[in-house]
A and B are shown apart, each in its own frame.
Chain A
């Protein structure tokens, strides 16, 4: 037995002792195999993480490339002769505060389609967006004198033409676009309406301001409930709670609540806030309450961890100079723990901001064409708006949905960035 076999199953210590032969052919082969496996293992780890990063990059690229078009729009020139149109609007009467209502009452949309048909042929009658109507109304209210003459206005085109100008579309729209291009009657611009408008049935006239306002109101309700209550609860549990059955039950329920699926909170909101308490449906108030219950345990857990890191010497010193237990906590421990609590709160809020499912259940999926003016008005939020638009069949909604997703992701990025900044800037290592 002078040969060390690569695959010998001999137990150590059973045979006579033989020094390891490092240069032996079988040994070097085995070593090579082991090192080869080592390299492969390491590379597969790198591949796994690269794959995850690639997924993220693909997702972001996908949304970005599809959505960037949602922030721009094409506008077409519309030569319109108001004297020939049968609007019956008297410029002199459009001075008072009712001017807007008077203009809105006139049949502007048929005036637009007639002018479009006159300028570019009968196929072009429906080429302008529903949003063109609002813009024309604004223009007339601002300058009623335009009603007495002929003007050339630049108005946003409808979804079909917009898609045809940006990508490719059906033959009729393509023909219209090339004709408009030849006449230099088509120009590209920023879609301001997307940032200032609300939901609409026409994809070229939609905007996210209504949904954003709903989101702000909802988050406002959430934060003003969940933050104070969460901080107080974490102070109680960490600093004052005696160890007994009550506090054990509280602790267990907080840990469980943090892992309960978000849709369950939607069911709770539906049964308690809408059915029993009879609060208004689709309102930011109910959405905020539901999300507050959902983020509360997150804040409590973050708060307890932050309070735990404050060293006992701070408490001892304050107690030593005669502070009461309550003064120790509220004058010393809490201010020191606050950056940590805020970081956890912002992360919890970011999660609430992206939440969709519970809000669907409490009815925040209604079609809301005007921004909400208060917490009890019907409203929708940005993630739900994205969900609603994703359900639309009209192809024009694809880029709007992706554009809304870009806005949502930017908000997430800002909030998480703020949390990281707070953590690095203010959090103390003891």
Chain B
């Protein structure tokens, strides 16, 4: 809590420094011309007072909790703790909760005696860090305020700070990408230490049910990813695309080539609503309405193994979701074909449909293909529809009425049980995440390259 106090103190120091700088510069202005407006002098001082001190505080906060833990363990109360690690840690975490006022007392009596020690150590270290930060803030503010003068270029100084902030904001993108890559790779490596990578990549069997006790039968789960990749591909790249590509393409052709302007003004937003419906709604629709229909259809067709969690139900609803995406990509590619080509074809006496089929579509084909690849990448990464409608059985099957499972379904399944963080089950989810990330990345890169080359062709 004391660190919050330090934060408030630093903000007050910054405001005071800003006001002081502003007033000083305004007094100077009555004497003669200033380079920068007084408000810039004030901002300059405030920024110097706040930013270094806040950075120090931000660096101190995680360090403090580690220092407190060390000090507590070194104290007489800490030395009296039981040596068994799990027990000790549960006492410490309980004591932390008591110290923070989150609970009255713990299950272990030791935690109540430990709590005051934790509170004391926290107070001591917070006082140290807080004072250091405030002193840095005051010193920086004093240095900045000393520079106030008629010739001082405060505006340039402020703008330099703003520039730093702008650059830092855009760095978030790289940090996020790095964070994704590193966390996925780090956890995957831990998984591959427990389970061989080749068996994961080429294995044909997926049954992550590990036994709770080591001596139980079948205690080692099988983590072969091929059935999952096939299920993902089957639902996302085959069934969904069989629905989405013809419908999306024909919709785009009708909207751009045939529809009168007023009809288009209505139809296009309606089509976009399909893209805006949350995926959990599609998932519920697939599980509750489409899946029984598909199962009855399968039984009527004589497929006795028709499941109520079929690949067809999930894939077709996913296809409906992707329609607007395919349609808008096709729309863009067709619009990018030069008008002269269309005019030439029509002038030769070709009908509109002949022009579309023989001239526009072949010319737009790379763009359309790129768009379809992007759609596949989106379908593969889609989670809720398959979680709710596709089931958890890992089957290597071509039968669309049977249940298959996908990478995303398994990630959710593996991570939502009550599991400890270091078991192969939870780590396997990160390995699957890495595979998913790499596949979608590859698809996106190929698709973007195709689309870009196609656009350059007609520019």
Q: Is the beta-carbon distance between B381 and A261 smaller than 8 angstroms? A: yes
Q: Is the beta-carbon distance between B159 and A324 smaller than 8 angstroms? A: yes
Q: Which residues of A contact B382 (CB under 8 A)?
A: 261
In this assembly, does B404 line the interface, its C-beta being within 8 Å of a C-beta of chain A? no
Q: Is the beta-carbon distance between B353 and A37 smaller than 8 angstroms? A: yes
Q: Is the beta-carbon distance between B284 and A405 smaller than 8 angstroms? A: yes
Q: Is the beta-carbon distance between B276 and A412 smaller than 8 angstroms? A: yes
**Given A56-B274, A357-B408, A296 contacting B172 (CB threshold 8 A):** yes
In this assembly, does B224 line the interface, its C-beta being within 8 Å of a C-beta of chain A? no
Instruction: Identify which of residues 228-272 in chain B touch chain A, using a CB-to-CB cut-off of 8 Å.
Output: 246-251, 253-255, 257-258, 267, 269-271
Contact with B along A359-373 (1 / 0, CB 8 A): 011000100000000
In this assembly, does B384 line the interface, its C-beta being within 8 Å of a C-beta of chain A? yes
In this assembly, does A418 line the interface, its C-beta being within 8 Å of a C-beta of chain B? no
B interface SS class: helix
Contact with B along A51-64 (1 / 0, CB 8 A): 11101100100110
Q: Is the beta-carbon distance between A408 and B283 smaller than 8 angstroms? A: no
- The distance from the CB of A254 to the nearest CB of chain B, in whole angstroms, is 5
Q: Is the beta-carbon distance between B177 and A62 smaller than 8 angstroms? A: no
Contact among A51, A263, A402 for B412, CB-based, below 8 A: A263
Counting contact residues on chain B (CB < 8 A from A), the size range is 35 or more
Q: Which residues of B contact A390 (CB under 8 A)?
A: 280, 283-284, 287-288, 388
Contact with A along B177-215 (1 / 0, CB 8 A): 101100110110000000000000000000000000000
In this assembly, does A49 line the interface, its C-beta being within 8 Å of a C-beta of chain B? yes
**Given A260-B437, A261-B383, A263-B436, A356 contacting B172 (CB threshold 8 A):** no
Q: Which residues of B contact A37 (CB under 8 A)?
A: 351, 353
Q: Which residues of B contact A235 (CB under 8 A)?
A: 166
Query: Which of B73-81, B296-304, B440-448 contacts the other chain?
Result: B440-448
Question: Which of chain A's residues has its CB closest to B254's CB?
Answer: A45
In this assembly, does A256 line the interface, its C-beta being within 8 Å of a C-beta of chain B? yes
Q: Report the separation of the CA atoms of residues A412 and B280 in the bound assembly, to the nearest whole angstrom.
A: 13
In this assembly, does B222 line the interface, its C-beta being within 8 Å of a C-beta of chain A? no
In this assembly, does A383 line the interface, its C-beta being within 8 Å of a C-beta of chain B? yes
In this assembly, does A18 line the interface, its C-beta being within 8 Å of a C-beta of chain B? no
In this assembly, does B320 line the interface, its C-beta being within 8 Å of a C-beta of chain A? yes
Question: Which of chain A's residues has its CB closest to B266's CB?
Answer: A53
In this assembly, does B115 line the interface, its C-beta being within 8 Å of a C-beta of chain A? no
Q: Is the beta-carbon distance between A42 and B258 smaller than 8 angstroms? A: yes
Q: Is the beta-carbon distance between A326 and B429 smaller than 8 angstroms? A: no
Q: Which residues of A contact B430 (CB under 8 A)?
A: 267, 271
Q: Is the beta-carbon distance between A356 and B166 smaller than 8 angstroms? A: no
Contact among A257, A354, A420 for B173, CB-based, below 8 A: A257
- The distance from the CB of A183 to the nearest CB of chain B, in whole angstroms, is 35
Q: Is the beta-carbon distance between B187 and A416 smaller than 8 angstroms? A: no
In this assembly, does A268 line the interface, its C-beta being within 8 Å of a C-beta of chain B? yes
Q: Report the separation of the CA atoms of residues A365 and B416 in the bound assembly, to the nearest whole angstrom.
A: 8
Contact with B along A233-266 (1 / 0, CB 8 A): 1011100110000010110011111011111110
Question: Which of chain A's residues has its CB closest to B270's CB?
Answer: A53
Q: Is the beta-carbon distance between A56 and B270 smaller than 8 angstroms? A: yes
- The distance from the CB of B411 to the nearest CB of chain A, in whole angstroms, is 6
Q: Report the separation of the CA atoms of residues A48 and B253 in the bound assembly, to the nearest whole angstrom.
A: 10
Q: Report the separation of the CA atoms of residues A387 and B246 in the bound assembly, to the nearest whole angstrom.
A: 31
Q: Is the beta-carbon distance between A275 and B169 smaller than 8 angstroms? A: no
Question: Which of chain B's residues has its CB closest to A229's CB?
Answer: B169
Contact among A228, A356, A386, A402 for B383, CB-based, below 8 A: A356
**Given A271-B187, A408-B281, A38 contacting B176 (CB threshold 8 A):** no
Question: What 10 additional pairs, Cβ within 8 angstroms, besides A49-B267, A62-B289?
Answer: A34-B351, A45-B258, A233-B172, A253-B176, A260-B440, A263-B381, A263-B433, A387-B384, A390-B287, A390-B288
Could you show 11 A-B contacts with beta carbons less than 8 Å apart? A52-B323, A52-B324, A56-B270, A56-B274, A63-B281, A232-B166, A250-B174, A261-B383, A267-B184, A271-B183, A387-B384
